[in-house]
A and B are shown apart, each in its own frame.
Chain A
Amino acid sequence: MGSVVVNNIVKTYGTKKAQVTALNGISFEVAPGELFGIIGPDGAGKTSLFRILTTLMLADKGEASVDGYDVVKDLKAIRKRVGYMPGRFSLYQDLTVAENLEFFATIFNTSIEENYDLIKDIYSQIEPFKNRRAGKLSGGMKQKLALSCALIHYPSVLFLDEPTTGVDAVSRKEFWEMLRRLKEKGITILVSTPYMDEASLCDRVALMQEGKLMSVNTPSGIVEQFGKPLLAVRSGNMLQLLRDLKQCREVEDAYPFGEYHHAVMKKDFSQQELEACLKNHPGVTIKAIQPDIEDCFMDLMKN
């Protein structure tokens, strides 16, 4: 039995005239204790999905359960056992750090002491500022406070909606390290993010685009599904190189990727022919590489 089970969820917004489909038949399952990533750009439907799973919204179609409880019927049971961190910073800005935590402990009928060991790791980092108002904290600290508050009642499932958006690379790394440690304590974690590079930090990921799941798999599984040769190409004139690559007959797709261009090749391409096609680029470097999640995401998007 999955910790989170989602079956054919559909959600639309707006009037009949201007209808937007936020979720278009989503199904997946998350095993207990799994760190599950939902990866997709803004507008893919991540927030809608999280709101449905946290009982904040009703789906138009389909059913879902969290910890065995139905998201429509067992509203109260679910609200007792999930932790939720919405995308926006949603704490009381004019209460202090300690007061916020105290407050959330109270509304979940628990005390800070009771589950302190769970949040100790995270909370100890912001404890020096516990008398500061939450509104005056820096982005990274706000995030830690929000996570502490979401964990205060020892939830069995934790929903984190874009916790790392707009956060710099250092804080993002720290945040993922915290999630790893939480996972070890047996908490099922669903996290959404627009950053493709964070996929590799999850046990399994769902790639989401325009209300649909394009793929659900382990990060390495997704990479294996790619199934086409991928090359990294570099030369002195990158802009011209990209134009030329797109002209080559054996190149299915080419796009910039960091310091290289990535070229998705037809299955049985020959290296000589490619080199011949790029003969105008002296000193061109061509190497075969493993695709990463971003390559896969783009590939899936284009299909």
Chain B
Amino acid sequence: MEYVIQAEKLSKTFGEFKAVDEISFQVSKGEIFGFLGANGAGKTTAMRMLCGLSIPSSGKATVAGFDVYKQTELIKKNIGYMSQKFSLYEDLTVKENMQFYGGIYGKSNQFIKEKTAAIIEQLSLQNEAGKLVGSLPLGWKQKLAFSVAIFHEPAIVFLDEPTGGVDPVTRREFWGMIYQAADRGITVFVTTHYMDEAEYCNRVSIMVDGRIEALDSPHGLKKTFGTDSMDSVFLKLARGAARSAD
């Protein structure tokens, strides 16, 4: 099995506070990996380390084959990132946004041109390609943001609550896009507050107080905890949390 993310006893401490406490896990190529946890459980810190934005305090990890201590620049080149807040440039057009991001990742004009055309086709944005992103409805923006996050064909894409506030139909279309990306071999690492979305993941980890308390397929988790929904698995685990902070 080819692992795209490998973390071993990865930790981050801020003074006395162990934000992330010895987490170990692997994510394989093309997997959709759900990363759950209550606010303050340490998800964001862990994700930042994996994206090369924050140097771990101890432990080992590689992302797309690169070391999170020394090769952060290479990591950044090989991942995509999208969050609910991080959006596209609202005062650039759909096309310009794609050209801009393609340029950032050093893609050739030829590549950018073809890829842009493909995305516009896929999202049926032919009539909107020249419009400012700011004028699009939220759901479209989110789908477009995802397309831009994987524009440079990264090995992994990190999605931080990508579907917050999006209507249920668009949310499903969004997940359809995630499946397609995973099908192409892009590994998807996603956090969400929607428990039904956890079900769409191949495997789910649940963080409590800086540690990974459970890691299994949704089906396996439900079986282990003897319930029939991810919601109650999550509540069972998170209720035991000692800390709550952002």
Q: Is B179 an interface residue (CB 8 A)?
A: yes
Q: Is A221 an interface residue (CB 8 A)?
A: no
Q: Is B159 an interface residue (CB 8 A)?
A: no
A140 near B166 with CB under 8 A, answer no
Interface of A is mostly: mixed
The 9 closest A-B CB pairs, nearest first, are A41-B167, A42-B165, A168-B38, A258-B199, A138-B245, A258-B196, A259-B199, A194-B165, A170-B238
10 pairs, A vs B, C-beta closer than 8 Å: A18-B135, A42-B166, A138-B244, A141-B244, A166-B193, A168-B193, A169-B38, A173-B235, A194-B166, A294-B168
Chain B residues with a Cβ under 8 A of chain A: 37-40, 135, 137-139, 161, 164-170, 172, 175, 179, 183, 193-196, 199-200, 218-219, 229-231, 234-235, 238-239, 241, 244-246
Q: Is A107 an interface residue (CB 8 A)?
A: no
Q: Mark A8-50, 1 if CB is under 8 A from B, else 0.
A: 0000000000100000000000000000000011111000000
Q: Is A123 an interface residue (CB 8 A)?
A: no
Closest chain A residue, CB of each to CB of B180: A239
Q: Is A110 an interface residue (CB 8 A)?
A: no
Q: Mark A251-268, 1 if CB is under 8 A from B, else 0.
A: 000011111000000000
A294 vs B172: C-alpha distance when bound (angstroms):
12
Chain A residues with a Cβ under 8 A of chain B: 18, 40-44, 138-141, 165-171, 173, 194-197, 209, 239, 255-259, 294, 297-298, 301-302
A255 near B172 with CB under 8 A, answer yes
A257 vs B196: C-alpha distance when bound (angstroms):
7
A297 vs B165: C-alpha distance when bound (angstroms):
14
Residues of A within 8 A of B38 (CB): 168-171
Kindly count the residue-residue contacts between A and B in the assembled complex, taking CB atoms under 8 Å apart.
90
A259 vs B135: C-alpha distance when bound (angstroms):
35
Which of the residues A18, A168, A196, A258 comes within 8 Å of B238, measured between beta carbons? A168
Which of the residues B164, B195, B196, B229 comes within 8 Å of A166, measured between beta carbons? B164
**Of A141, A239, A256, which is in contact with the most chain B CB atoms at under 10 Å from its CB?**
A256
Residues of B within 8 A of A294 (CB): 168
Shortest C-beta distance, B195 to chain A (Å), equals: 6
A36 vs B165: C-alpha distance when bound (angstroms):
19
